[in-house]
């Protein structure tokens, strides 16, 4: 079986969860002996990905506009890649590259599956453009797929809104490779970033409204006097919010308690997880947070909103999943920080659950089985 994985952005800094999921699923396919090609756009720095894509062919198409991820109309390249594949996996939904690949696949008779990763509902900025996209190409992109992948069961109603019965959707969650998180001491994080050593709450993700860093800052500000020993660290690339957050920090009088360390990856990312007393994921909307399971495999306790698509955490303590609001996060932070010993226990329990349920080596077998089933339709 020859698989073509398509994602608009593969860079870890700009691509987020979709990029990480594409890399990890491709790794599993390659390790099982499946011929795998990844097609992406020339956005961001891809050098860090090369070491993760051993045995995987990476094809980078030129990009006309990085903001809207508009590809150069390289139809010859796309047609060649499609014709070489038995099945195609489209990662993401708002993707003009995916539309180009779908058009070529339809002409060549190559089946494809699609994983919107929570992107089907209209959310965030440029909603007018998204409505036009839906009408012109989006609904057709979903309707003509031969397989549909949800990251969590919470996405099933999204597919139904596009006319796809939930019985035809396969749920394949995000996961981690434990070996990727087996090294790096937490002390490395302090020595590398220059952030003062001491207990801190960690935000790991893009500084983007959908990720809710502003909600976390306000919640932390409410509790700063009650927990004077704790700091707040924002780790992730700025997508337009950092200046506003810094201004608010000054108003709150927390300039010596809140730090920004920018985008982190590799060993430094692992060190950040291991150094943190608590990882908080304050997202306003998310299919399934990869950060939550990454923190878990490092033994880091996690607090998250009920918009992160991961109800398993409630089995440890229902209070670790809170509404995506300042009040909700304030209550969750208070519960988590009032007992450091309990935090450590929660971290170990969450690591055990991640090992049992969210390792790519187990999850990806379901992905491969779906692709094999769909690939047979090319021969039918």
Domains and CATH numbers, the chain: 2-172 (3.40.50.2000), 178-357 (3.40.50.2000)
- Give the contacts of 100 (CB within 8 A, at least 6 positions apart): 71, 73, 75, 78
Distance CA 328, CA 322 (A): 5
pLDDT interval class at 98 (50, 70, 90):
very high
Least confident of 40-49, 163-172, 190-199, 220-229: 40-49
Q: What is the pLDDT of residue 368?
A: 92
Nearest residue to 350 (alpha-carbon basis) of 292, 309, 307: 292
Residue 126 pLDDT greater than 70, yes or no: no
Least confident of 58-67, 255-264, 341-350: 58-67
Nearest residue to 39 (alpha-carbon basis) of 20, 21, 62: 62
How high is the mean pLDDT of the chain? 91
By the 8 A CB rule, do 320 and 302 touch?
yes
Per-residue pLDDT tens for 140-158? 999 999 999 999 888 999 9
Q: pTM for this structure?
A: 0.84
Residue 46 pLDDT greater than 70, yes or no: yes
Residue 379 pLDDT greater than 60, yes or no: no
* Alpha-helix runs per DSSP H in 111-155: 127-133, 139-143
Residues belonging to the chain = 380
Q: What is the pLDDT of residue 123?
A: 66
By the 8 A CB rule, do 321 and 313 touch?
yes
Burial 347-358 (b: 16+ CB within 10 A, else e): bebbbebbeeeb
Element (H, E) at 356: helix 340-357
Nearest residue to 270 (alpha-carbon basis) of 172, 192, 215: 192
Mean pLDDT of 209-219: 97
Mean pLDDT of 244-262: 97
Mean pLDDT of 112-133: 80
Nearest residue to 203 (alpha-carbon basis) of 260, 287, 241, 243: 260
Q: What is the pLDDT of residue 180?
A: 86
Residue 186 pLDDT greater than 90, yes or no: no
- Give the contacts of 75 (CB within 8 A, at least 6 positions apart): 100, 104
Q: Angle at Cα 38 formed by Cα 21 and Cα 163, nearest 5°?
A: 60
Per-residue pLDDT tens for 263-305? 998 899 999 999 999 999 999 988 788 899 999 999 999 999 9
pLDDT interval class at 54 (50, 70, 90):
confident
């Amino acid at each position: 079986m020859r698989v073509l994985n398509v994602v608009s952005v593969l860079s870890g800094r700009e691509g987020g969860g979709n990029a990480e999921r594409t890399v990890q699923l491709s790794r599993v396919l390659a390790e099982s002996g499946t011929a795998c090609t990844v097609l992406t756009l020339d956005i961001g720095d891809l050098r860090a990905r090369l070491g993760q894509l051993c045995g995987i062919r990476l094809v980078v198409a030129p990009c006309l506009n990085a903001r809207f991820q508009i590809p150069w109309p390289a139809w010859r390249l796309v047609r060649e890649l499609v014709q070489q594949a038995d099945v195609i996996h489209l990662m993401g939904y708002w993707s003009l590259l995916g539309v180009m690949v779908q058009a070529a696949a339809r002409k060549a008779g190559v089946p494809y599956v699609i994983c919107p990763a929570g992107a089907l509902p209209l959310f965030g900025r440029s909603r007018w453009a998204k409505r036009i996209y839906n009408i012109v190409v989006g609904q057709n992109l979903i309707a003509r797929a031969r397989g549909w992948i949800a990251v969590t069961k919470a996405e099933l109603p999204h597919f139904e809104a596009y006319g796809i019965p939930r019985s035809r959707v396969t749920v394949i969650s995000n996961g981690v490779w434990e070996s990727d998180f087996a090294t790096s001491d937490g002390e490395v994080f302090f020595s590398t970033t220059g952030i003062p050593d001491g207990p801190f709450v960690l935000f790991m993700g893009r500084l983007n409204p959908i990720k809710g860093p502003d909600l976390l800052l306000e919640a932390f500000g409410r509790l700063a006097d009650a927990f004077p020993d704790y700091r707040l660290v924002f780790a992730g690339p700025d997508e337009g919010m950092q200046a506003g957050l810094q201004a608010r920090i000054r108003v709150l009088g927390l300039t010596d308690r809140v730090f920004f360390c920018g985008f982190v990856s590799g060993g430094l990312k692992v060190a950040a997880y291991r150094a943190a007393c608590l990882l908080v994921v304050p997202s306003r909307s998310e299919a399934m947070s990869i950060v939550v399971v990454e923190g878990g495999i490092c033994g880091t306790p996690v607090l998250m909103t009920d918009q992160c698509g991961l109800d398993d955490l409630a089995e440890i303590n229902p209070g670790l999943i809170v509404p995506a609001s300042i009040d909700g996060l304030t209550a969750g932070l208070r519960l988590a920080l009032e007992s450091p010993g309990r935090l450590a226990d929660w971290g170990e329990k969450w690591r055990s659950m991640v090992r049992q349920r969210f390792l790519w080596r187990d999850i990806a077998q379901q992905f491969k089985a779906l692709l094999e089933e769909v690939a047979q339709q090319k021969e039918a």
